[in-house]
Structures are given as structure tokens and as C-alpha cells.
């Protein structure tokens, strides 16, 4: 048995002390490599999209009131749900069936049904690929959110943005590969757990941009250090490090550190420039809703997302909604759907539609994926006593909707369906693993090959599941 075989490529890449990240950076810093090769494991096939913006609705958007039109539900309005096995919901109260609170219309040339909850998004209906047959494993917010983002219900697994950063590497050296833009009202429950790199190297962690003040922590020195001193300090650091290399010899890791200081300096130039949205035209600001209250925060984040995408960020997570509890600041309409969803939709509807239009008009939608998802849907029956028609809906994991748009997708189509009252998925059920497999596929990555060894298992975003949804791919 040859010992040389112990140094298999896999061991090299994911087990050695300097880990895959070390190897990746060594590649990155090799002078003759194109910048776009920055650190990823490499493509498995030709990509249809190069970057992703993930709009993540926290709390549970009601599919029945937005993207899943159920004309039959009116017949059951105010009636009891028929079941032989009590459905799993969070609060376990099964009130009477309630029809949709927003009217639906067919939109655009495609005729997609979208409700009046999202009049602006309805205006870009022909760009959307709607999935109406999502199913998930938990009707509990945080496990369901983790599963939406990482494929697993527990803490400690890398999220999709981290996997994509790991898979595709950086398209720019001047910005983080994975940026998170939290809701201006606060972080989601669990805080930074939601953009954890899990067991992937830390360079794949989501970098949350602050909504106020310096965009990211530690971007600039604290007051008291002048730009001249800062520049001279970098110069001195280069000299000291050169002396160190003379003394101890060249090491890849040490050379990578030297290079990282240069990249840091570039980030200091790029981040203020990209976050300076004041320079955008008045018509653009108007389009994104920056000039009025309900849309100002999310509009700013949507516009910032487009600017970040233009400059090479791979994955942006735009979060709509903060933590749970009352009064609510997310989509968790347990008490009063009309009030809750009206308020939340008004914050994001116009900005999201503007983002789609803007990406289209700049030619970016051809190779950008826009994902619009939520952790689960809401029940067709209200959260109330058995014989009562309440105003709020509980969590529904058996069927819900999301949409995608952009490079590689068939636009203006709806995939799958729920039953006649929108309770359970009836045709073509889609699990998060299928969704993740499809996203990776569109980016040129094979979800079965994008793996990282961790404690005995070649881990994947899709665990051991996932089928690419070929029907929705153009």
C-alpha cells in the first residue's frame, strides 16, 4: 500500500491545516490567474446565471393571498376543514376556512394570477417563474427558516450564500462574495446565525451591511488615525513583512496575508463608492420608492443590491422582516392578515418590482437570479376556535409559493399546484432541496458535486436529496 496515496487531492483540499480556503487563496493570488477565478471550486457545467439576489420574507407569506389563486376556496368559506389526521400547525387551532383577502387578476401576456397584495410585482409578472407547490418539514419559524437557507433545520450548517461563495468564489476582490442586507427594523430571530458559514471556512460567512453608519465594521480606522498615517502604516507593514520573508523564507500563507492587505485597501475604496446611492438619478430613486416612507428602507436595500451586483458580489440576501413577537415586524399574520400583510407588502412591493425592471433594463436579468421566498405559507383556515372565522392564519408547511426570476428560467409560468383550498400541495411537490439544486444548477454547479468534508460526511447543501426542476428551466 503506497503512502503517497494518503495525500489524495480531497485530503489536500479540505483537510489540510490551511484548508480549502488556503488552497483557494493560493490560486487566487497566483498572478497569472484571471480575477474571476477567485477561489471557487469551479463550475461543473455552463452557467445560466452568475449571481443571485435572494429576497427572504421572514414569518411566512400567505400564498393564498398572493401567488396561489384558489377560486374554489370561496365555496368553503366559513366552513370547517375536513381531515382525518389533524394538521400540524404551530398553535394547533383549526378555525373555519377563510377565502383570500385580496382579489386576484391575471397579469401581463403570460396571464399569471397575482393578487392585489402586490400590484407592482404583478406589473412584472411576465418575468416571474412561480412555484406553487412548495412543501417543507417544519411549521416552526426558525427550523423552517434554517431549512430554507441551509437545507437543515438545525444551527451550524452553511447557508446557501456561503455554499455559493464556496462554489463560485469571488467575482471581485473588492467586495465580500456574500452580503446580507437585514431589515432596517432589526435582525431576524437568531441574529447572525442566519448567515453562518457553518463548517465552511469563515471567508464564506455572510457580511451584513449596516443600514446606518459605516456599512461594515472595521472598514476604516477609528478617529485619531489620519489617512496619511494609515497610508504610511501600510507602507511600513509591507517593509516589515518583506524583512520577515527575508528572514524566514517565502510561505504561501504568509504571501497571502501580504496580498490580503492590498485587497483590504481596495475594499476601503469600493464599499463607500457602492453604498453612495445618492449619486443615482432622481428617476431611479423615485422608481425604487426612496422618496416615500413605507418603501424607503427596502427601496434603499434593493437599489444597493443592484449596485453590489454590478460590482461583482455573488450573493445578496435581502431580508424583509425582523424577529417574532408583538407588535409584529414581519409576515407572521397570526392575528390579522389584512393588517399584517398590507403593511409588510407596502414596504417591499414597489422596490422589488423596481429591482426587476432595473435589472432588465440594464441587461443584467439575463444572468442574475432573483429569488423571492418565505419559510412556509399560511393555513387556509384561520387560527381561531373550531367554529369561528378568525382574521389571522397559522403556519402552513404542506403547501406554499415562491417565485424566481432571471437567467436560465422560463418566465411567466407557474409550476405545481396545491389542492382546491390551497392547503396541501397536490401536483409536483417541491422541497427546499429541489429548489437549492435548481439554483445551483442555474449557476453552473452540480448540487451532488458541490461538497465539503466535515466529520465523516461529504456535506452538501441538498443533504442527500434534491432534483433539479428541469421543467422551469428555459
Partner 1 sequence: MNHIRAKREISSRKAARQRWMPFAISILLLSSFWCSHAASQHPDKTQDTQSVEWWSLQPIRQVDLPPSTEKARNPIDYFVHQRLRQHGLQSSIEADRWTLIRRLYFDLVGLPPSPLDIDAFVTDDSDRAYENLVDRLLASPHYGERWGRHWLDAVHFGESNGFEYNQPRNHAWHYRNWVIDAFNQDMAYDRFVRLQIAGDIIASEKEGIVATGFLVTGPHNTTKPSNDVMRLTMRQDEMEDMVALVGQTFLGLTINCARCHDHKFDPISMKDYYGIASALAGVEFGDQTINMPAPGVVEGNASKSDEGDSLKVWAVTSIDPGKTHLLKRGNVENKGELVSPRGIAALRMLDSDFGLNPDSDGRLRRFKLAEWISGVDNPLLARVMVNRVWKHHFGQGIVLTPNDFGYSGGRPSHPDLLEWLSDYFKKHDWRLKQLHRLIVTSATYRQKSSPNAHAAAVDAGNRYLWRKSPSRLEGEILRDTLLVLSGKLDPKFGGRGYRDMREYKFKGSHFYDVISQDHPEQFRRTIYRFSPRGAMRTLLDTFDCPDPSAITPQRAVTTTPLQSLALMNNDFVVNMSQAFARRLESQAGLNAQQQVFLAYRLAYGRGAEEQAMKISVPFIEKHGLAAWCRVIFNSNELLYVR
Q: Residues 74, 219, 269, 474: which binds partner 1 (CB under 8 A)?
A: 219
Q: Please state the three-class secondary structure of 256-315 as a single string.
A: HHHHHHHHHHHHHHHHHHHHCHHHCCHHHHHHHCCCCHHHHHHHHHHHHHHHHHHCCCCE
What are the C-alpha distances in Å from 37 to residues 29, 169, 228, 295, 461?
10, 7, 34, 37, 22
Residue 189 touching partner 1 (CB under 8 A): yes
Residue 138 touching partner 1 (CB under 8 A): yes
CA distance 474 to 468: 13
Q: Binding to partner 1 (CB under 8 A): which residues in 242-271?
A: 243-245, 247-251, 253-254, 256-258, 260-261, 263-264, 266-268
Counting Cα atoms < 13 Å in the Cβ hemisphere of 449 gives: 13
Q: Binding to partner 1 (CB under 8 A): which residues in 327-386?
A: 328-329
We find the least distance from the C-beta atom of residue 255 to partner 1, in angstroms, to be: 9
Q: Binding to partner 1 (CB under 8 A): which residues in 140-159?
A: 140-143, 147, 151-157
Q: Residues 217, 227, 279, 363: which binds partner 1 (CB under 8 A)?
A: 217
Residue 317 touching partner 1 (CB under 8 A): no
For residues 418, 423, 429, 433, the Cα torsion angle rounded to the nearest 10 degrees is 140
Q: Binding to partner 1 (CB under 8 A): which residues in 165-184?
A: 173, 176
We find the least distance from the C-beta atom of residue 90 to partner 1, in angstroms, to be: 5
Query: Closest by alpha carbon to 380, among 104, 117, 113, 100?
Result: 100
We find the least distance from the C-beta atom of residue 274 to partner 1, in angstroms, to be: 15
Instruction: Give the sign of the dihedral formed by CA 119, CA 401, CA 472, CA 315.
Output: positive
Q: Binding to partner 1 (CB under 8 A): which residues in 65-124?
A: 81-85, 88-92
We find the least distance from the C-beta atom of residue 71 to partner 1, in angstroms, to be: 15
CA distance 397 to 377: 6
We find the least distance from the C-beta atom of residue 107 to partner 1, in angstroms, to be: 27
We find the least distance from the C-beta atom of residue 241 to partner 1, in angstroms, to be: 5
Q: Where does this chain touch partner 1 (CB under 8 A) — which range of 116-124, 186-194, 342-350, 383-391?
A: 186-194
Residue 45 touching partner 1 (CB under 8 A): no
Q: Where does this chain touch partner 1 (CB under 8 A) — which range of 108-116, 301-309, 402-410, 424-432?
A: 424-432
Q: Where does this chain touch partner 1 (CB under 8 A) — which range of 134-142, 276-284, 356-364, 402-410?
A: 134-142
Counting Cα atoms < 13 Å in the Cβ hemisphere of 68 gives: 31
We find the least distance from the C-beta atom of residue 138 to partner 1, in angstroms, to be: 6
Answer for the pair 102, 67: CB distance below 8 angstroms, yes or no: no
Residue 85 or 387 with smaller CB distance to partner 1: 85
Cis peptide before 327 (omega within 30 of 0): yes
Query: Closest by alpha carbon to 273, among 172, 344, 131?
Result: 172
Using alpha carbons only, how large is the chain's radius of gyration in Å?
Answer: 24
Q: Number of residues in contact with partner 1, rule: CB under 8 A?
A: 134
Q: Binding to partner 1 (CB under 8 A): which residues in 2-41?
A: 2-3, 5-12, 15-22, 25
We find the least distance from the C-beta atom of residue 165 to partner 1, in angstroms, to be: 11
Query: Closest by alpha carbon to 375, among 414, 402, 342, 346?
Result: 402
Residue 470 touching partner 1 (CB under 8 A): no
We find the least distance from the C-beta atom of residue 123 to partner 1, in angstroms, to be: 32
Write down how long the chain is.
474
Amino acid at each position: 500500500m503506497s503512502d503517497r496515496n494518503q495525500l489524495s487531492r480531497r485530503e489536500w483540499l479540505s483537510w489540510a491545516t490551511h484548508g480549502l480556503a488556503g488552497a483557494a487563496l493560493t490560486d487566487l493570488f497566483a498572478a497569472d490567474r484571471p480575477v474571476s477565478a477567485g477561489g471557487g471550486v469551479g463550475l461543473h457545467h455552463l452557467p445560466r446565471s452568475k449571481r443571485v439576489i435572494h429576497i427572504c420574507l421572514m414569518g411566512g407569506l400567505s400564498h393564498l393571498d398572493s401567488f396561489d389563486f384558489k377560486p374554489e376556496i370561496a365555496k368553503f368559506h366559513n366552513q370547517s376543514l375536513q381531515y382525518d389526521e389533524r394538521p400540524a400547525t404551530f398553535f394547533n387551532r383549526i378555525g373555519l376556512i377563510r377565502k383570500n383577502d385580496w382579489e386576484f387578476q391575471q397579469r401581463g401576456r403570460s396571464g399569471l394570477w397575482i393578487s392585489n397584495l402586490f400590484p407592482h410585482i404583478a406589473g412584472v409578472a411576465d418575468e416571474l417563474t412561480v412555484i406553487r407547490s412548495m412543501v417543507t418539514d417544519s411549521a416552526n419559524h426558525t427550523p423552517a427558516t434554517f431549512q430554507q437557507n441551509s437545507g437543515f433545520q438545525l444551527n451550524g450548517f452553511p447557508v446557501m450564500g456561503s455554499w455559493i461563495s464556496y462554489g463560485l468564489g469571488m467575482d471581485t476582490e473588492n467586495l465580500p462574495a456574500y452580503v446580507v442586507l437585514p431589515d432596517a427594523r432589526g435582525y431576524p430571530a437568531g441574529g447572525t446565525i442566519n448567515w453562518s458559514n457553518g463548517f465552511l471556512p469563515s471567508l464564506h460567512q455572510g457580511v451584513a451591511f449596516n443600514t446606518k453608519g459605516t456599512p461594515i465594521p472595521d472598514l476604516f480606522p477609528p478617529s485619531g488615525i489620519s489617512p496619511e498615517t494609515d497610508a504610511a502604516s501600510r507602507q511600513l507593514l509591507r517593509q516589515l513583512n518583506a524583512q520577515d520573508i527575508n528572514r524566514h523564507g517565502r510561505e504561501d500563507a504568509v504571501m497571502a496575508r501580504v496580498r490580503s492587505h492590498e485587497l483590504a485597501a481596495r475594499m476601503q475604496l469600493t464599499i463607500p463608492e457602492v453604498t453612495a446611492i445618492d449619486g443615482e438619478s432622481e428617476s431611479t430613486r423615485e422608481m425604487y420608492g426612496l422618496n416615500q416612507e413605507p418603501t424607503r428602507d427596502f427601496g434603499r436595500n434593493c437599489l444597493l443590491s443592484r449596485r453590489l451586483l454590478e460590482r461583482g458580489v455573488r450573493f445578496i440576501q435581502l431580508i424583509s422582516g425582523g424577529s417574532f413577537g408583538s407588535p409584529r415586524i414581519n409576515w407572521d399574520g397570526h392575528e390579522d392578515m389584512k393588517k399584517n400583510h398590507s403593511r409588510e407588502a407596502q414596504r417591499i412591493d414597489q422596490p422589488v418590482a423596481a429591482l426587476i425592471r432595473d435589472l432588465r433594463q440594464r441587461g443584467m436579468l439575463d444572468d442574475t437570479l432573483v429569488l423571492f421566498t418565505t419559510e412556509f405559507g399560511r393555513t387556509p383556515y384561520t387560527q381561531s376556535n373550531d367554529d369561528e372565522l378568525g382574521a389571522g392564519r397559522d403556519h402552513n408547511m404542506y403547501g406554499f409559493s415562491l417565485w424566481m426570476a432571471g437567467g436560465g428560467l422560463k418566465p411567466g409560468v407557474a409550476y405545481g399546484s396545491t389542492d382546491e383550498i390551497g392547503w396541501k400541495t397536490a401536483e409536483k411537490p417541491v422541497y427546499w432541496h429541489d429548489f437549492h439544486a435548481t439554483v445551483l444548477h442555474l449557476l453552473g454547479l452540480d448540487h451532488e458535486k458541490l461538497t465539503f468534508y466535515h466529520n465523516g460526511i461529504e456535506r452538501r447543501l441538498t443533504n442527500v436529496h434534491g432534483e433539479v426542476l428541469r421543467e422551469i428551466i428555459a
